[in-house]
Amino acid sequence: MLNAKVWLAPALLGVMLAGCGGSDSDDDSTGDPVGEAESFHYVEGTIAQARAALQAGDLTCEDMVQGYLDRIEAYDRQGPSLQSVIAVNPSALDEARDLDSRYAAEGFQGPLHCVTVLLKDNFDTVDMPTTAGGLALETSQPPDDAFSVARLRDAGAIIIGKANLDEYAFGFRGSSSVGGQVRNAYDPTKGPGGSSSGTGSSIAASFAMVGTGSDTGGSIRVPSSLHGLVGIRPSLRLISQDGIVPLAHWQDTGGPMCRTVEDCALTLSAMVGYDPGAFSGQRFRFDHDADLMTSPFEYQLATLAPSSYTKYLDGDALSGARIGVVRDLFGDGQGENAEVQRVIEAALERMRAAGATVEDVTIPDLSTILSDYRSVSRYEFKTNLTEYLASWPSTTDGHPRSFEEVYQSGGYESRNAGTFAFYDSAGTDLENNADYLKNINERPDYVRQRFLAALENIDASGRPAGEPFDVLLYPSVLSLAPDVGGSPSAGSNNRLSPFSGFPALTMPAGMADTDPALPVGMEMLAREFDEGTLIKLAYAYQELAEPRQAPTFTPELEEQPEPAPVALID
């Protein structure tokens, strides 16, 4: 554990605030809510509710941050012991006091004023080490924030800490040599998924308002599904990859993980933007050899990113929507998969009742896509990690400067020794590796053309089979949360978005009939840079079905013995 110490006070509860309204009550520039007053609760508290409490003067930013620190102290290493947080930010309370002073003089300091954020610990921060969960990087101190982290701070957010993860973002088990095994917030005997496991568990448990994850092949969407969260894997190139410890630049992206669609819309709005840096990954075309964008104009031309994604919060968006259901990705209907299918079928019926057209669709050559192509992480991790580690001097922090140094250090869980050996072997001589070249040169066009054919509802003869679909829909994960130490059955569903570069959003479809109840997630895939449609339909379903339920193991602190004022991190 890192040597940051934070002393805690009793949680602040019983605060009055204005409720969160729909899209017609959201101001895109400030996020100011309109609604009736209600008591503020840290459990499931939203950005709009927190903003209203601050605006009413019933709560300071310092109070808000302290309340979330109290929850981390009470539940992350005690109680259910979720082990979802690697470190808290020792400057968080000072930053909160500064925001309080600036608010008194100037008002809100951005749309995310005092929004507490837990970052997956592969996002660089200038004020905390970035470990990627591996002991080899325990003291690795980047010289600046990741581009997307700087954007969050510019919007007024407070980085309250770093979330645990499956170390080096390798898999879905959700454990690391720095932070240990993350546990599922809904049932601590269950696993959290990965690799953004700590973000999933901590945001589900309301240890912060929102979190970030990174996704190479499902690492935002899998833990979001298992924790009843909204998780957005944006279109590749929309969010800069700068300052995110890489797994494979050709597939990596960061994105938000939140309890509500509207909070993800606000967080995504802050994270996007043109980055002129060399590590942004923001190519003008979806082409491995394309040049990086050279100006905000080129970025806007390519992405059509709105000033705020909150403009898409439309509670009536399911009326007239067209949803293509990819039955080939639903699983075999056996065991836990039967319950996953039952919950999603109920969600589809709700969508139909709200006026959506829900039809089955076939993705051309889907079996070929899933059998002939593969993730490029096996090829790119070795080179990409070295590029990242070599991007700043090690004279002050002594961090490893290459993949080889990390590999030889043994600073990782023993279960990953074979993974490092495999990546070491696979990541050499890439310019002559036929399989790697096939996946970066052939795969994009082949996959994107067939996904577009499904979205456009084009049949095998090339003729329209009906009206185009707004999104494709399928289960996020084929099983429920596994036992601790196991990985959920993701099937191949997690590959669609990274293989195509198209955006995907996972959200809770409902809760499984288990004891305790476990979330079931459904995923929607849209056309490139059409995050707005995903947000619109997800918000409408959220408002219609209210599918998320809070975990029962991390209630409001007033229901628990008051934690002793001891150091959070020794």
Tokens of 398: 């002594």
Please provide residue 312's backbone torsions phi and psi, each rounded to the nearest 5 degrees. -95, 5
Query: Which candidate in 201, 202, 206, 219 is catalytic?
Result: 219
First to last CA, the chain: 7
3-state secondary structure of 300: helix
Q: How many CA atoms within 13 Å lie on the side-chain side of 302?
A: 24
Cα(181)–Cα(485) distance, integer angstroms: 8
Length of the chain equals 570
219 among known catalytic residues: yes
Residue 98 CB-density burial (10 A; 0-12 exposed, 13-18 middle, 19+ buried)? middle
Query: Which candidate in 23, 84, 120, 206 is catalytic?
Result: 120
Query: Which candidate in 84, 140, 148, 195 is catalytic?
Result: 195
Query: Could you please report the per-residue DSSP string of 303-368?
Result: H---S-GGGG--TTTTTT-EEEE-GGGS--S-THHHHHHHHHHHHHHHHHHTT-EEEE---TTHHH
Tokens of 172: 């879905």
Cα(204)–Cα(84) distance, integer angstroms: 10
Q: Where do we find the tokens 């005092």?
A: 114
Could you tell me how far CA 360 lies from the centroid of its own chain?
A: 28
120 among known catalytic residues: yes
List CB contacts of 398: < 8 A, sequence separation 6 or more: 139
**Best CA proximity match to 196, nearest among 159, 228, 221:** 221
Strands (E), 434-551: 471-475, 504-511, 519-525
Tokens of 88: 């808290």
Q: Where do we find the tokens 């639903």?
A: 330
Instruction: Give catalytic residue positions.
Output: 120, 195, 219
